[in-house]
Amino acid sequence: MTRRGLGLVAVTLGLATAAGAEAPNPLAEVARRVRSEALSRTAAFDRLVELCDGIGHRLSGSKALEAAVAWAQVRLTSDGHENVRLDPVQVPHWQRGAESAELVSPRPMALAMLGLGGSVGTPPEGVTAEVVVVSDDTALAALAPDAVKGKIVLFDHAMPAWTPERGTGYGTAVKYRVVGAVLAAKAGAVASLIRSVTAHSLRTPHTGMMRYEDGVPKIPHAALAVEDAALLARLAKSGHKPVVRLRMEARTLEPAPSHNVLAELVGRDLPREIVLLGAHLDSWDVGQGAHDDGAGVVMAMEALTVLRRLGLRPRRTVRVVLFTNEENGLAGGKAYASMHGTELHVAAIETDSGGFAPRGLAVGLPDAAAERTAVPRLGAWLRAVDPGLGFGAVEARGDGGGADISPLAKNGVPLFAYLVEESRYFDVHHTAADTVDKVDPTDLARGAAFLATVAWSFAESGPP
Instruction: Give the residue numbers annotated as catalytic, written as ranges.
Output: 326
Q: Closest Cα partner for 278 from 427, 464, 72?
A: 72
**What is the distance of C-alpha 365 from the center of its chain?**
20
∠ CA(424), CA(405), CA(418), 5° rounding?
Answer: 35
Residue 4: how many other CB atoms lie within 10 Å: 8
Q: How far is residue 385's CA from residue 26's CA, in Å, rounded to a whole number?
A: 9
Q: How far is residue 168's CA from residue 178's CA, in Å, rounded to a whole number?
A: 17
Q: How far is residue 123's CA from residue 146's CA, in Å, rounded to a whole number?
A: 23
Q: Yes or no: say if 217 and 192 are a contact pair by the CB < 8 Å rule.
A: no
Q: Yes or no: say if 426 and 197 are a contact pair by the CB < 8 Å rule.
A: yes
Q: How far is residue 386's CA from residue 394's CA, in Å, rounded to a whole number?
A: 7
Q: How far is residue 133's CA from residue 156's CA, in Å, rounded to a whole number?
A: 7
Amino acid of residue 369:
A
